[in-house]
Amino acid sequence: MLALLERRFDVLAVDLPGFGHSPPLPPGTEPRPEALADAVERAMDQAGFDRAHIAGNSLGGWIALELARRGRALTVTAISPAGLQHAREKAWGRNMLLAMRWAARNLRAPDSLLRTPLGAFLFAGPVVARPWRLDPDEFAEVLRLFADSPGFDATLPHTFDGQPRGLDAIDVPVLLVWGTLDLLLLPRQGRRFERLLPNAELRYVKRLGHTPMSDDPELLAGAIGDFAARNPGP
């Protein structure tokens, strides 16, 4: 999706601390969403971004809303944001991520398998509704990074034990995007965010999963770009 967005915007893409290619937070700093938002703020400051159109998926959606609460957002596109799950939904989501992590770490699928529709379905099916669209090389790297992520174990409890603060104080436009086939954070959770956010638009995208950017990058890049263009801010 980055190449599509870069045609219209200056884009800053970050790996959260302890994920992707970013080191974890310093020892003694719990990776709560607020602390992760601090890290994103520092990255924005270093890149010269004062306020920006911010988009995030899952935990990233929660962090995007936290940045909006702090006054750093012109708009927010929150894609299946975490934070408003009920008790059973929390247990479901936590267990699904733990199972995916176990599979990534212990099965260590060869690249030849990941290049097949079956392999993509087995390892990405819980969060991607159209795994056959994944680039095999990128998917193999993402799976390796997920398996070896030093931040996963410490961050997971905070993703499910708390909830976003001050949603009713967010005064910028928020686009909530939810795939109707999201198996990790169920689509009904979108209504909860919509009720709490003063200036929110909820859009369900049919037959897409928890990471709809992987299922249909053109659709998601268009949604983010068009929403930002309609709400340019001051």
Altogether, the residues listed in the chain come to a count of 234
The one-letter code for the residue type at 216 is D
pLDDT tens-digit profile of 119-129? 888 889 899 99
Does residue 234 surpass a pLDDT of 90?
no
- In this prediction, residue 205 carries a pLDDT of 98
pLDDT tens-digit profile of 99-113? 999 999 998 777 788
- In this prediction, residue 2 carries a pLDDT of 93
Question: Mean pLDDT in the chain?
Answer: 95
pTM summary value: 0.95
The rounded percent of the chain whose pLDDT value lies above 90 is 84
Mean pLDDT value across residues 136-165: 93
pLDDT tens-digit profile of 38-50? 999 999 999 999 9
Residues 6 or more apart whose Cβ sits within 8 Å of residue 162: 32, 33, 83
For the chain, domains (ranges, CATH) are 2-230 (3.40.50.1820)
